[in-house]
Structure 1
Amino acid sequence: MVRTLPFAALTLAAGMTANALQAEEVNVYSYRQPELIQPLLDGFTKQTGIDVNVAFLNKGLVERLEAEGARSPADVVLTVDISRLAALVDAGVTQPVESEILEKNVPAEFRDPGNQWFGLTTRARIVYASKERVKEGEITTYEDLADPKWKGRICSRSGTHAYNVALFAAGIEHMGEEKAQEWIEGIKANLARKPQGNDRAQVKAIWAGECDISLGNTYYMGKMLSDPEQKEWAEAVRLDFPVFEGGGTHVNVSGVAMTKSAPNRENAQKLMEYLASPEAQKIYATDNFEYPIAPDTQPDELVAGWGTFTADEVNLMDLARLRPDALRIVERVDFDG
């Protein structure tokens, strides 16, 4: 049984677990909305008989775990983006998990080198391009985005958003800081408007003719196609998969970590191993329009239809370490100004 609980109720449930139900429950703090992960957790309970208590928190996750300390009822954290996973590790609120199953199902580039977190699915940060105004093959690299031919034709969300910061950090990894700043300055010079809104808002702007291309995560295409009000926006664009020169297409992850205080450690590891299994990853990837990580797993037919790409092989923790440098560049060039 999956129970979505407020934090106070979860704390109470954890107390009960410690007293009597430790072998039957596991407590999850989730950055992802409960409806997005419920099919997975239902599958886990069906397979193991272990109930899952879920508390949803869309911000302040690290601060919450720090404040609770050793008293935290949370066993597992589910979140998205390498910056958030790295923040958990840096705060010292996770613990390493040694598991042959996790190491088998999660390639090295998609897990923490110290086994503090493990990726579950990936999403590529790609280019949404107008079908009418941008020819196929016009954009092959991320470096192309700084070409003056795109002046006044690019829309973007804030440069300080975690998704863009991760991409800019990848730029530093591939180009070095000086050339990466020139690249980011070039993208800023090509913006059609002040950065605003989310990834879907950029696609709407392309549909409305305000710009011709934008950066966005792949899964938003699936979400827009599933929304009657946004389907027309999605149908106005295609997905182009650029690469870094000498590298691949930038990807980010959704991931899982065990908390340092986990009161139900055995059950927590069982849940993590289940979430990394090909069966669970297929469910997760299909429901969220993402790419499964486990070897020999395939994306949903709709997602596969968007095209193929070679993921960049840079370890995501290396990008996390470059995040402060990327943020400094964004502020230095006044990207959002």
Structure 2
Amino acid sequence: MLFSLPLYASQNAQEVNLYSARKEALIKPIIDKFSKQTGIKVNLITGKADALLQRIKSEGKNTHADVFITTDAGRLYRAKSADVLQPVKSDILNNAIPENLRDPDGYWFGLSMRARPVFYVKGVINPEELSTYEALADSKFKNRICIRSSNNIYNQSLVASMLAADGQDKTQQWANDFVKNFARKPKGGDRDQIKGAASGQCDIAIANTYYFGKMLSDKKTDQKKAAEAMAIFWPNQSDRGVHVNVSGAAVTKYAKNTANAQKLIEFLATKEAQRWYADANFEYPVRKDVAPSELLKSWGKFKADTINLSQLGVNNAEAVKIMDRAGWK
């Protein structure tokens, strides 16, 4: 179901239409600043990521969308492959956003970054036991790992990154052994993996960092208590680095307000917007000259995988096949 503010197809020079997979509370304050600074009205539609992409595809040339914001490079790649985006040539975006966090052809740009590290139960797991994603397939972790299902794009992108690093044969063997270490049948979202570990169902959880930040800041005591029982381990620090991903933005193929669409994305890449956007979503700024929040700083520095995130989309289909063959439900 989509929740929306009033939206009207427009070629008015002072409007732009935004379809966002980010909830209204997590994006509207910063786009209101954009409107105040530029005089450009932003008409906002919010909804589930996959539903919004399907809507843009279904609307075709009649789409109202000028800008599409969604989570995960795998979804951004799907949008590009569906031929519903157009390339943007912008020195502002190319200079602000690292090359690996944007599409090589300019079809989409990362706006905030998250990592998908290993979370472990304090006092149960010795962090010296941990090293890499690959090592989680070791039999010593049998019945000790909580992770969500294989139909989740975050896990698909993690496996896609491993395909790029290790190749098909090694990744398949890893997946075959990794599923043997699941403490339970995959279920729920990332928060549920952290809660499962904190409640003793497993010792290790795989989740995105922003969920951990949200749980630590949650007013619900059970969420906060679960997160406080866990610690972060940054895997693969001696080789490629921890798997990272982005939420990002693109200009749609049939945008009616392309100039304003580009202005909006460029604004979201400014220092001011990066600071707010990353803090509000418990994510890391994509700009190297903007520091993360104090909470994220408290988790320590880490080496991030520098693979161009477009490869996560390229490798997605094979990643899904590998997970299916391994019995990762």
- Which TM-score tier does this pair reach, normalised by the shorter chain? over 0.9
| Cα offsets for 1:44-93 (capped at 9, x unmatched) | 11211111111112132222112212221111001000111001100111
Are 2:249 and 1:250 aligned? Answer: no
Q: What SS is found at the alignment partner of 1:314? A: coil
1:108 corresponding residue in structure 2? 99
What is the aligned partner in structure 2 of residue 260 from structure 1?
253
Q: Does 1:55 align with 2:48?
A: no
Whether the 8 Å contact between 1:62 and 1:91 is mirrored in structure 2 is: no
2:146 is aligned to 155
Deviates more, 1:39-48 or 1:163-172: 39-48
What corresponds to 1:31 in structure 2?
A: 21
Gaps of 5+ in 1: none
Judge conservation of contact 2:237–2:303 (CA < 8 Å) in 1: no
| Equivalent position SS for 1:308 | coil
SS where residue 185 of structure 1 aligns?
helix
Describe the superposition over 1:154-202 as per-residue Cα deviations: whole angstroms up to 9, x where unpaired: 1111022100010011111111111101111121111111111111111
Q: Does 1:306 align with 2:296?
A: no
1:203 aligns with 2:203: no
Counterpart CA distance in 2 for 1:249 and 1:87 is 23
Shift of 1:207: 1.3
Letter in 2 for 1:33: K
Which amino acid is the alignment partner of residue 303 of structure 1? Answer: L
Partner of residue 190, structure 1: 181
* 2:33 paired residue number: 43
1:82 paired residue number: 73
Q: Deviations over 1:243-277 (max 9, x none)?
A: 27631111010000000111111111110100011
Partner SS, residue 157 of structure 2: helix
The sequence identity of aligned pairs, in percent, is: 46
2:286 corresponds to 1:287? no
1:143, 1:244 within 8 Å by CA — same for their partners in 2? Answer: no
CA distance in 2, matches of 1:5, 1:143: 43
Q: Is the 8 A contact 1:285 1:291 kept in 2?
A: yes
User: Gaps (5+ residues) in structure 2?
Assistant: none
1:5 aligned partner? 4
- 3-state SS of the aligned residue for 2:129? coil
Give the Cα–Cα distance (whole angstroms) in 2 for the partners of residues 137 and 302 of structure 1: 24
Q: SS state of the match for residue 117, structure 2?
A: strand
Match of 1:94 among 85, 107, 112: 85
Could you tell me the TM-score, scaled by structure 2's length?
A: 0.96
What is the SS of the residue equivalent to 2:307? coil
Shift of 1:218: 0.5
Give distance in 1, aligned partners of 2:269 and 2:141: 41
CA distance in 1, matches of 2:51, 2:4: 17
Q: Structure 2 CA distance, aligned partners of 1:136 and 1:246?
A: 17
Which residue of structure 2 aligns with residue 271 of structure 1?
Answer: 264
- Quote the offset at 1:42 in angstroms: 1.4
Misfit runs of 4+, over 3 Å? none
* Distance in 1 of aligned mates of 2:30 and 2:178: 39
| SS of residue matched to 1:60 | helix
Count of aligned residue pairs for this structure pair? 324
The correspondence for 1:239, drawn from 229, 232, 242, is: 232
One-letter code of the match for 1:265? T
Secondary structure, in 3 states, of the residue corresponding to 2:207?
strand
**What is the SS of the residue equivalent to 2:299?**
coil
The RMSD of aligned alpha carbons is: 1.3
Task: Tell me the secondary structure at the aligned position of residue 137 of structure 1.
Answer: helix
Q: Is the 8 A contact 1:105 1:278 kept in 2?
A: no
Name the residue aligned to 1:72: 63
SS of aligned partner of 2:13: coil
Question: 8 Å contact 2:237–2:302 — kept in the other structure?
Answer: no
**Structure 1's 245 and 331: CA in aligned 2 closer, same or farther, altered over 3 A?**
farther
Q: CA deviation at 1:279?
A: 1.2
Instruction: Verify the 8 A CA contact 1:160 1:330 in the aligned structure 2.
Output: no
* Contact 1:80-1:254 within 8 A present in 2 as well: yes
2:119 maps to amino acid? Y
Residue 315 of structure 1: aligned partner: 308
Does structure 2 conserve the Cα–Cα contact (< 8 Å) formed by 1:153 and 1:190?
Answer: yes
